[in-house]
Amino acid sequence: MAMYESDHTRFIREWLEKHPEELAEQKAGRALWWDKAPRDLEEQRRLAEARVPQKPYYYDAN
């Protein structure tokens, strides 16, 4: 039994085979939005100290 492959998946796979330069563009976009550089310990400490404690009930005015 063959595995199902949607028309969209087939189109994208074939398009990427014809346009290999787009893989580099795709990786650059992912790095821009998702892959975050690890923070150093000093920055982590500063962020932890600056954190404001949140109230148990967010909408409580008191």
Q: What is the pLDDT along the chain (62 residues), one digit of tens a residue?
A: 578 999 999 999 999 999 999 999 998 888 888 777 777 889 889 989 999 988 788 787 76
Residue located via tokens 């976009």: 29
Q: Would you state the structure tokens that stand for residue 40, as one six-digit string?
A: 């150093």
Q: Is residue 54 part of a domain?
A: no
Rounded Cα–Cα distance for residues 49 and 53 (Å): 10
Q: Is residue 23 part of a domain?
A: yes
Q: Is residue 59 part of a domain?
A: no
pLDDT at 6: 95
- Domain range holding 21? 8-34
Q: How many domains does the chain have?
A: 1
pLDDT at 37: 72
DSSP state letter for 20: T
CB 22 within 8 A of CB 16: yes
Q: Is residue 24 part of a domain?
A: yes
Q: Is residue 1 part of a domain?
A: no
Q: Is residue 29 part of a domain?
A: yes
Q: Is residue 15 part of a domain?
A: yes
Q: Is residue 57 part of a domain?
A: no
pLDDT at 62: 65
